[in-house]
Amino acid sequence: MTAHQNLFDNSSDWLDHTLTNASSSLPASATRLTDGASITRSTVGVLELHPSPGRPNPNNEALIVSAGVHGNETAPIEVLNGLVNELLNGDWELACPLLLIMGNPPAMVAGERFLEANMNRLFHGAHNKPEYRELPEAARARQIEALCREFSATHSGKLSHYDLHTAIRPSRREKFALYPFVAGRQVEASQCDFLLEAQVDTLLLQHKAGTTFSSFTSSVLGAESFTVELGKVQPFGQNDLTRFTGIRDALRRRFRGAAAPMPKAPFADMTVFEVVHEILNTGKSFQFHVPDDVANFTEYAPGTVIWEDGATCYRVGDIPEAIVFPNRDVPVGQRVGLMIRARKAVSGA
């Protein structure tokens, strides 16, 4: 039996197996590659990979890479699946521990962002809130948190997490990363270099901790974590994967333990924004004045009214602000968008 068959039964690959078994709870299954590396499918859509024992881990690191936390954001899922196929084909050898996650398999099958609740609002303990705790997406977030805790506890190297997404709207900046807020923390220059290597040239600094997957891994596990937006949402099979070679090649380089390309001066080519305001749906009287089809990073002049609800009215401050992730169609209390501002000093975040 091949390594492939051990892990994925009769399915053609990891993605096929995950879609076929999206709602099943299968027992774990493991295999060993010819170089001695091991791969365990811990549960549907989750692979834990270890290099051959004794093999050097030159970058002294462990990585969590996730995609499909939103089921309709398919390009990063295809990228991750392609890298797993390369490894199983013996195209390259693994040098560092990896936890690879397809976040929400039932939503992937349905081609939807989520089925009952937005899973990327259910991390950092939010899955235990009474209104969510019985939902399948809360159970999946809880299971993923437990697998990440276990993975992080067993690896001493530096832990990074890249949660890969694509955006609903068009974007004036196609690829950008969000850096979750952790008090007193600054983006490491090496992370900035990695993002640039992946052709992600815009960084957005969050202003408070949230309930996203990357916020959980950074706040609770101390990982260097990013939500990475890589393009626009498309159904499976309709992605132009030539637009995703930057992230594919940069991840493969890390998985193989190869050295980073020549580092640039930190932030030299990175445009940095900071979040100045999180727009929340405040309820019945909430009015959002940003049109439905506006692109991410569309700028608004000082004084523009962005939203109001009778009690509060949010206007752009003295410096222009741009909108990211405008989406009025969210439950009360959830994020309708982020107002961001270019950061003045770019000598360090």
178 has which bridge partners?
204, 227
Q: What's the closest the beta carbon of residue 246 comes to Zn ion, in angstroms?
A: 18
Q: What's the closest the beta carbon of residue 213 comes to Zn ion, in angstroms?
A: 10
Whichever of 42 and 281 has its CB closer to ligand LFNQLBSZ, that residue is 281
Q: Is 145 annotated as a binding residue?
A: no
227 makes contact with ligand LFNQLBSZ (CB under 6 A):
yes
Whichever of 144 and 167 has its CB closer to ligand LFNQLBSZ, that residue is 167
Window 143-182: residues binding ligand LFNQLBSZ (CB under 6 A):
165, 167-169, 178
127 makes contact with ligand LFNQLBSZ (CB under 6 A):
no
Q: What's the closest the beta carbon of residue 217 comes to Zn ion, in angstroms?
A: 16
**Which chain residues interact with Zn ion by CB under 5 A?**
70, 73, 165
Q: Are 137 and 104 in contact (CB under 8 A)?
A: yes
70 makes contact with ligand LFNQLBSZ (CB under 6 A):
yes
Dig out the tokens for 71 from the structure.
């089921």
Angstrom CA distances, 225 to 75, 90, 205, 284, 315, stand at: 20, 29, 12, 35, 31
100 has which bridge partners?
47, 65
Angstrom CA distances, 100 to 62, 81, 84, 91, stand at: 11, 9, 9, 18
Q: Three-class SS of residue 315?
A: strand
Which residue, among 56, 5, 64, 57, has the nearest Cα to 30 in the 3D structure? 5
336 makes contact with ligand LFNQLBSZ (CB under 6 A):
no
225 makes contact with ligand LFNQLBSZ (CB under 6 A):
no
What's CA 2's distance to the chain center, in Å? 31
Q: Is 165 annotated as a binding residue?
A: yes
- Active-site pick, 229, 274, 278, 308: 229
Residue 177 CB-half CA count within 13 A: 29
Q: What's the closest the beta carbon of residue 328 comes to ligand LFNQLBSZ, in angstroms?
A: 11
Whichever of 168 and 189 has its CB closer to ligand LFNQLBSZ, that residue is 168
229 has catalytic annotation: yes
Which conformational region is residue 237 in: left (phi greater than 0), alpha (psi within -120 to 50 degrees), or beta?
Answer: left
Q: What's the closest the beta carbon of residue 169 comes to ligand LFNQLBSZ, in angstroms?
A: 6
- How many other β-carbons are positioned within 10 Å of the β-carbon of residue 226? 27
For the chain, the helix, strand and coil percentages under 3-state DSSP, each to the nearest 5: 25, 25, 50
Binding residues for Zn(2+): 70, 73, 165
Active site residues: 229
Site residues (CB under 6 A) for ligand LFNQLBSZ? 70, 120, 165, 167-169, 178, 212, 214, 227, 325, 327
